[in-house]
Structure 1
Amino acid sequence: MYDPNLNSIPLSDLIISYYECEDDANVGTTVGKINSLHYTHTANAFVYVRFQSKKDGCYSVAPINLLSYFPTKAKNSVISICDNNLDGYYDVNLLEYKNYMVQNPDDQNVYKFYLRESDINIPGKEIKNPEKFKLNPYISKIWVYVENLTNCGSIAEVNFKKGNILTLNKNQFSINNICDTGNDGKEQINLTIFENNFSASYTYEYFEKDSDMWQNQNKIQNPAYYAYDETKGSSTFYVKVSQEGFCPNFYTIEVQLNKIPIINIADYYYCKNASQGLEIKPNFSTMNIANYRWELPDGTIIEGADKNYLSGIKTIGTYTLSLTTVYNCSYTTSFRVLNVDTPEIVSLIEQDNNFEVTAQGISGKKIVYSKDLVHWQDSNVFYNLEAGEYNFYAKYADSDCYSDAKKGKIFTVQSAFTPNGDGINDYWVFSDLDIFGGTSTLQIVDKFGKVVCQQTSNKEFRWDGKTQSRSLNTDAYWYVIKVGNGRIYQGWIFLKNRN
């Protein structure tokens, strides 16, 4: 009331007196003057003080507001709580409920909260940051001390009642029917498909981690088109479910991508003249294959759960394999079966019971030759062969695969025959003309040069000893055979007839 910095008159030079009303204080008489203790019956009352100079009688009057406080009456209260961030604890702003903790709420009240009643008014024991109180789920009650003046307060219980948690008929789901195209661990998935299991009035928030749900951060913005990446290390997603009037709940979604049975099958090479076919049996041991479907070059389909290999394959061409896993993920690949490259015999020349084999192949690769597939020789000439048929082969020296056979024959021309109808040696025959390729011709003349037989063929010549259906006399006849490769066979035939 008195500020020495604002007054030139010291306090000792002033007469100070108190009055019940302002008017009496201005008059300055004994009327209304307070001479001893003053009693008031209201919580908010005024008295007035008169400051008067002892020297010149000048004065001033100032009010004094008398405020009377009654101890605040705390009362037991119940707070309904929810684990709104679903971290297992209850986040409660205790000050939000302070008006429920006293009989007469007042902004002047001071609230202090304690975990135990015995801790009340012990320094350091009160709950810090009551507006961010994290309630352990096992605690159901704390205490509040309310005062409006220091050491002028009372104690009450604060009881916690857990709110009704939204009931979910299922809280664990899985997405395990998606095939991982490319097997890179990345696919677009729809996380919202399980919302149909619940009420349309529910709202949903999606999180990659439980810690994000607890802190309400990093929400998945477009869960219906979520770009899943398993390399992030998280395959479990958390879905917070809310509805007005209930405490939230949550469910989890476990995501598992199923591998595509991608396989690359290298081309197979087959010796075209090998007696046994190929076995095609790739390794499917880690793929969980439920069905195999092979398509062969001729369109034949081989399919089944146990058809994991092919055997006896000799047909060259493109083969297609479609695999389907137990998770219904499919993949189709193709491969070829090819003949191992071998030399090609391009000519076979017989002269004087010798055969010269000419083969073409890859430049620089050594070619060897055989007539029985047992003995192979570097030379392409086979000497001093006995009369008979032969098959000649060529191959590269470093390979087991050999060429197609080229047929050759050392001919023994039939020198005589007896066309007498007894079924024995009735025909003069020169066969296997196809060995020479092209078309061969035969001309037979008598000793006078008259043509008695003339034929053209690429298979064989067969003469019954007649000319124009007339049997010829026993005699010698001259033959000339020009075969398809240009060679000429000629000599005498003795025809022995019954006359």
Structure 2
Amino acid sequence: MSSYLYRVRLDKIGNSCGLLSNEVSLDILPLPVVNSPISIVQCDDDLDGITTVNLTVNNSQISANSATQTFEYYYTQADAQNEITASKITNPTAYVNSSSPGAFTLWATVKNANGCFEVVQINVQIVTTQIPASYTKTFNLCDDYIDATINVTDGSDGFTKFDVSSVTDDLQTNVLPAGTYTIKYYRNVADRDSQLNEIVDPSNFRNDIPNVQVIWARVDSSVSNACFGYAKINLVVNPLPSIDLTAQEYICSDNPSIIKILTAGINDGSSTANYTYKWVKDTVEIIDQTGPTLQTNQEGIYTVEVKTSFGCPRTRTITVTKSNSAVFLETTVIDLQEENTVTINVTGDGNYVYSLDNELGPYQESNTFYDVSPDIHTVYVKDLYGCPTSEKTVNVVGAPKFFTPNGDGYHDHWNIIGLSKIYNSNAKIYIYNRFGKLLKQISATDQGWNGTFNGIPQPADDYWYTLELENGRTAKGHFALKR
């Protein structure tokens, strides 16, 4: 009768005239082809008969065209037949049977693209998991530390890649009875019960909860999709040692008796006894060194593998470079000036800083000292890499501007400052009056001139000097005698 054409004739009693309607085509649309009733068997892991059920899991058993049809679920057959919105189940993928433990019946409407629907009976049975509760698999792996964004030295971001696919073989070999089964893996209980968000590749699963995570294997019948049981899987990520990964150390190449102690760099306060150690120098293992420290006086690239009791290793690299104490070159002294300067020239592999007259410092990075007083000074050059400090005596020559030979013990003699028995002991110093008369010749080792000529005190006045140093350098100047 589908697609036939129909007319309606209207006759009035007592009147032979009638009316005839236009043609109308009648189409009869097909209902969905469904199987009813169908069953869902869900597992319960705590024996209370209440669990979460995904009511959609067997839609393909209800209809071969389930992918293109609309399913809605109801508590009663009448509500389903009348499509009562108020009694529709709103969470069919995570339905909890809290009011009907054990076994219960629900109803579904299956609607096709034409809007035609059939009502299907769904019988749900809650059964105890048939995998023993004692069955648990634990996987312990070391942190691979590729997700770290903070605390980059502690070695513990809590994530790594697990291969748990061996659980499938173990269940099939040692737990499941004869039959064909589907084994799938899920991140949590909610996904396990609703059979959503499956772990697609259990051989390459990266935990998404740090340090310790529980995931589940779910076993279902390959024939009926009935739940057989759950297997608990513990994932444990063991931390790597918390160490400083790199270090720079220096040895004194000119003093091999100075030993440098290299350390494993453990930085979290844990006991060094908690780890094992393997030391390597320039890719060659140091066989007899298995402790947390290593003594050396040789430069090179050292590594130490630090391993936890769980067997999780981490490697620290220590670059040992040679240094040495400063070796003095010729010192540049500009003296007999209003402002004397001293420049210390050195050579060596170290990183040097400089101090004048005090080994304890302060030290400066510049090798030039300004406004240095005339005197015999000691210069100290310290290696910041730890090699011994070098020192050198430096003479800065200067001429006092005046003296007061009045016998009070202060400034009673005049002499060039900065000369000594060691430095220019044979220097000659000539003193003249303003008329150019030679009054006195003195040496660097004398007290100096006492202001007399042939025992006669000379008057207060300006006097001149000529200085002749051993290296041929000469200098001239004047000074005042005050009385």
TM over 0.5: no
TM-score, normalised to structure 1, is: 0.40
TM-score, normalised to structure 2, is: 0.41
Give 1 or 2 for the bigger CA radius of gyration.
1
Higher relative contact order by CA 8 Å / sep ≥ 6: 1 or 2? 2
